[in-house]
Amino acid sequence: MPARRSVLAALPRLVPGDDRPPRGGGLDLPGTVSVTLGLLGVAYGLGGGGWAAIAAGVALLGVFALWERRVERGPKQGAAVPLIPPSLLRTADVGIGNVLMLLLGMVWVGTFFFLPLYQQRVLGYSPLEAGLTQLPLALALVLAPLAAGRLRRTLVPGLLTLATGLAWLARAPEDGTFLVDLLGPTVLVGAGLGLAFVPLTALGVAGVPGERAGVASGLITTTRQVGGALGLAVLTSVAGLAPAGVTGYRHAFLTAAAISLVAATAALLKGRTR
């Protein structure tokens, strides 16, 4: 306790203060409610809730965008600070970085949801076996960015590698084996995720002023989580349209591969190949 008191007493002298005048600070309650309900509506609609839920969700997201623009344009002392400042999305590559991270999140969460289900329900693996056979994927995810550290551009190659692995995984049969049907594609999936994730995370905060770096970092992380929720809703709906058996898993993996290709194409069109 004495040590803690000493540290706390020294903090005001050791840590420089912020001389900038405070701007607002209140909770953006309308923005929080509208974006939360909007995302829930879209996710629910994509998961089988119907077009009405999707339309309502999109409308609420539109309300959120208009509200955030209004809050940012008319700041007042003590007023709410915008949850996502619209001007931040126009800073450097923040906007395109978040769009691409949304797509990557859709693929990321969907893959890790359907892969163990395929292993256990179709191939008959135990939960332990399913986990152990995903170790090569995890290793590739960690090691690929390290191995490619000297390469200047890994985003598009990573997304294309991810799409290739998912398309290959979609060909796995009902009586597939780990060495023949799973090892190769899962290594590609892991490598693709790793190669794409690192530059996308950097893209989401590149060129952002220091006072907004925290907001940009939180936004890119939240975007990946939102993408995961939307991707899970989309892929489960796609899988549910297929007959019982391995076909649903194939459709889910192929859809995830298509999303990866869309992300790679968008990155190429925007010239963001780093």
Please check whether residue 2 lies inside any domain of the structure. no
| Coil, strand or helix at 51 | helix
Q: 263 and 174, same structural domain?
A: yes
Q: 145 and 57, same structural domain?
A: no
Q: 44 and 144, same structural domain?
A: no
Q: 63 and 112, same structural domain?
A: no
Q: What pTM was computed for the model?
A: 0.82
Alpha-carbon 1 to chain mean position: 41
The burial of 77, by beta-carbon neighbours within 10 Å (0-12 exposed, 13-18 middle, 19 or more buried), is given as exposed
Please check whether residue 202 lies inside any domain of the structure. yes
Walk along the chain (274 residues) and give the pLDDT tens digit of each residue.
443 444 334 334 433 443 444 445 567 788 889 989 999 999 888 888 888 999 999 999 999 989 888 887 865 544 577 888 888 888 768 889 999 999 999 999 999 999 999 999 989 999 999 999 999 999 999 998 887 766 668 899 999 999 999 999 999 888 888 999 999 999 999 999 999 998 898 888 887 887 778 888 888 998 999 999 999 999 999 988 877 667 889 999 999 999 999 999 999 888 755 5
Q: Which has the closest alpha carbon to 28: 87, 91, 90, 75? A: 75
Q: 42 and 128, same structural domain?
A: no
Q: 100 and 58, same structural domain?
A: no
Please check whether residue 253 lies inside any domain of the structure. yes
The gap between the terminal CA atoms of the chain, to the nearest Å, is 49
Please check whether residue 4 lies inside any domain of the structure. no
Q: Are 89 and 208 in contact (CB under 8 A)?
A: no
pLDDT score at 272: 56
Quote the number of domains for the chain.
2
Please check whether residue 137 lies inside any domain of the structure. yes
Helix segments in 121-212, DSSP class H: 127-132, 135-147, 155-169, 183-203
Range of the structural domain that residue 41 is part of: 24-83
Please check whether residue 14 lies inside any domain of the structure. no
Q: Which CATH number fits the domain that encloses residue 199? A: 1.20.1250.20
Q: 71 and 98, same structural domain?
A: no
Please check whether residue 1 lies inside any domain of the structure. no
Q: 175 and 56, same structural domain?
A: no
Q: 175 and 111, same structural domain?
A: yes
Q: Which of 62, 83, 104 is the last residue of a domain?
A: 83
Please check whether residue 111 lies inside any domain of the structure. yes
Q: Which has the closest alpha carbon to 172: 227, 133, 138? A: 133
Q: 172 and 116, same structural domain?
A: yes
- Written as one string, the DSSP assignment of 159-180 is HHHHHHHHHHHTT--TT--III
Q: 164 and 46, same structural domain?
A: no
Q: Which of 56, 83, 110 is the last residue of a domain?
A: 83
Q: 216 and 195, same structural domain?
A: yes
Q: Which of 55, 83, 111 is the last residue of a domain?
A: 83
